[in-house]
A and B are shown apart, each in its own frame.
Chain A
Amino acid sequence: MGLLGHYNYWITVFLMTAGLYIVIARGNLVKKLIGLSIFQTSVYLLYVAPGKVIGGTAPIIAPEYAVYSNPLPHVLILTAIVVGVATLALGLAIAVRIRESYGSIEEDEILASDRDAEERA
C-alpha cells in the first residue's frame, strides 16, 4: 500500500489546508467564503471515500453477495452538503449587505472605514 495507498486522504488533507489557508490569507470576503467552501468540501471526501469498500455492493442481503459498502457516510454527507450550501448562501447574503453599507468587500477597507467613522464620532 505505502504512502500512496491512501491517496484519498492526501487529497482530503490538501483540500483542507488549501481551504483554510484561503480563509486566513485572503481579505476579500467572497474569496474567504470560497476558501471556506473548499475546506468544508474536504470533509465530504473524508467521510465518503472510506465508505466505499472495493468490490462491495449496496447493503441488500442476497445469497450471491458477501461484501457490502456502508451507505451511512453518504447519507451523512448529504446532510453536510445542505449545511454547507446554507452557510455559503448566508455568507454571500451578508457579504451583499456589507457591500451595500460599506461600499466594499475588502476586509481592510471595511475596517478602515469603521475606524474613520469612529474617529469622526
Chain B
Amino acid sequence: MTLAHLPALEVVVPLIAAPLTLVLRRASVAWILTMAACAFSFVAALLLAMEVARHGPISYAIGSWPPPWGIEYRVDALSAFMLVLVAGIATVVAPFAGRSVALELPAGQGYLFYTMYCLCVAGLLGMSITGDAFNLFVFMEIASLSSYVLIALGRDRRALLASFQYLILGTIGATFFVIGVGLLFLKTGTLNLADMAERLQGMRTDRSVLAALAFITVGMSLKAALFPLHLWLPNAYAYAPSAVTAFLAATATKVSVYVVLRFYFDVFGLVLLTEVLPMPGILRTLSILAIVTASLVALWQSDLKRLFAYSSVAQIGYITLGASLATVDGLTASIVHLFNHGITKGALFLLLGIVAYHAGGTPLSGVRGLARSMPLTSFGIVLAGLSLVGVPGTAGFVSKWYLVLASFEAGHWWLGGLVVATSLIALAYVWRFVEAAYLSAPSGAMPTARDAPLSLLVPAWVLVAACIWFGFDTSFTVEAARRAALQLLEVAR
C-alpha cells in the first residue's frame, strides 16, 4: 500500500520537511528533521531502484489522473540512478551540515539553512523523477531558487555577488528551457514526455521542434555549467558555505545533465540529433574545450575551492563527451561518471570545508604542512584527488576506463588519448595540494590545529570510502548505468 506511493513520498517528504523546519525555528531540531527526511528519501530511492531493476519502469499518476492528462512520475533505470545519487549525497551532507552551519552562519539563522536545503533536495529529486515537462521546470526553479539562497549564505560578501550572478544566469537558463518546452507544447499539445515523443514522430524536422531543441540545449547547458556557459560556477562554489558547495557540486549540475540526456534521447530521438543535426559533433567539441581549458585554468588557481570548482567544469566535459558518442558504451561511461564524479567532488568539498574551518580559508599557501596537523583530512583529499585523476582502484578510474573504451569503439582513438592526457593535468593540480600539504614546512601563521571533530570527518570519509568502494565493486554503478543507457538508446531508435 505505502510502497505503491513511494514515488510521490520520495519527493513529498523533503518538500514537507522544508516548511516544518521553518516553523520549528530551532536549528538542532531542524537539523534532525532534515537528516530524517533525507535518509527517508535515500531508502525510498534504493527501494525504487531495486524495484525498477526487478520489474521495469514504475509509472505513478499524481492524484490518480492517468498519464497523458495528469502529471506522471516515472521511475526508470536512469531516474532511479539519479534519485539514489541525489538522495545519497543529501543524506551524507546533512550530518556534516550540523556543525558546519553552526560555525559558518550567524547564530539563530541556522534553521533557515535547513529549510532551503530540504527545498533544494526536494527540487532535485523532483527533477529526476517527473515525467512531465512543465513539472520539471517547476522543480528546477524550486531547486534553483533555494540554491541561490544557500550560496548567498556564505560568509564572504563575494558570495552575494556570486549568488546574484547565478540567479541571473540560472533564470535565463530556466526561461530558455521553458521556451523550448512551450514550443514543444504548442506543437504536440502535451506535456508528458513519453506522449510528447510519440506525437513528435514524423514532425521531428519541423522548424519549431528544431528551435525547441536549441532553446532546451542552451538553457540546460547554462544550468549544467557546460563550457562556455560555466561562468557562474567557480564563484558560486568558491564562496558558498562548505556544506552547500559539497551538495551542489555533487548533484545540481548532474541533474541538469540528466535533463539534457532525457530530452535528447527520450523526446527528440537519435534521428534528429545525429542525422538532421550535427549534435554529437557540437557536443564533442564543447566537451573537449571544457575539459582542456577548465583543467588548465584549474592548474593556475591559488585557492583550493576555486581550483576544484574549475575541475568540476572539466569533469562535466567528460560526462557530455561520453554522451556525445551516442553509443551504449559512451552513455554508460557518461552516466557512471555522473555518479562517480558526484561522490568524488562531494568528498573533496566536504574535506575542503574542514580545511576552511581550521585554517580559516582554503588558499594553497594556507595549507602548507597541513598533513602534520590534520593527517586524516589531508589523506582524504589525496584519496579523493586520486579518484578525480582516475587512478586504478578508485571510482574515477572506472568511469574514465569506460570512456576510453567507448572512444576506441566509436573509432575516435584520439579521444581516448585526450582523456588520458587531460587526466595528467588533473594529476598536476592534485599534486599542487600534495606538495603544499605534505612536502612543505608549516607556515608560521598556521595555528596548532588538531584534526577535525568526528561529526565533520565521518561524513567526508564516508564519501571517500565510497570513492574507493565503487572503484572495486562496479556491480551497482556500471550495471545500473548500462541498463539506463540501453533503455535510452532503445527509446531513441
Contacts and interface: CB of A to CB of B under 8 A. Distances in A.
Q: Do A and B come from one complex?
A: yes
Interface of A: 16, 20, 23, 29, 32, 36, 39-40, 43, 46-47, 50, 70, 72-73, 76, 79-80, 83, 86-87, 90-91, 94-95, 97-98, 101-102, 110-111, 114
B153 to A, nearest CB: 11
B145 A43 contact: no
Interface in B102-120: none
A98 B154 CA distance: 13
A-B pairs, 7 with minimum CB distance: A101-B157, A83-B141, A98-B160, A94-B164, A46-B182, A47-B182, A97-B160
B85 interface: no
Given A20-B172, A40-B175, A101-B160, 16 more contacts: A29-B164, A36-B168, A40-B171, A47-B185, A50-B186, A76-B191, A79-B138, A87-B145, A87-B171, A90-B149, A90-B167, A91-B167, A98-B157, A98-B161, A111-B161, A114-B161
A32 B168 contact: yes
A101 B178 CA distance: 34
B363 to A, nearest CB: 10
B182 A91 contact: no
B138 A90 contact: no
B179 interface: yes
Nearest to B167: A91
Contacts of A90: 145, 148-149, 167
Contacts of B189: 70
Interface string B181-222: 010011001010000000000000000000000000000000
A24 to B, nearest CB: 9
Nearest to A33: B168
A46 B145 contact: no
B207 to A, nearest CB: 13
Interface of A is mostly: helix
A39 B169 CA distance: 12
Contacts of A114: 158, 161
Contact of B138 (A36, A73, A83): A83
Nearest to A105: B164
B311 interface: no
Contacts of B163: 94
B160 A39 contact: no
A97 B172 contact: no
B175 A39 contact: yes
A91 B170 CA distance: 12
A50 B167 CA distance: 29
Contacts of B157: 98, 101-102
B134 interface: yes
B134 A79 contact: yes
A66 B422 CA distance: 64
Contacts of B137: 80, 83
Contact of B164 (A73, A86, A98): A98
Contact of A36 (B149, B158, B160, B172): B172
B152 interface: yes
B182 A43 contact: yes
Interface string B134-150: 10011001000100110
Contacts of B161: 98, 102, 110-111, 114
Contacts of A86: 141, 145
Contacts of B148: 90, 94
Contacts of B178: 43, 80
Contacts of A79: 134, 138
Contacts of A95: 164
B171 A36 contact: yes
A87 B170 CA distance: 10
A43 B179 contact: yes
Contact of B152 (A70, A80, A94): A94
A43 B152 contact: no
A36 B176 CA distance: 12
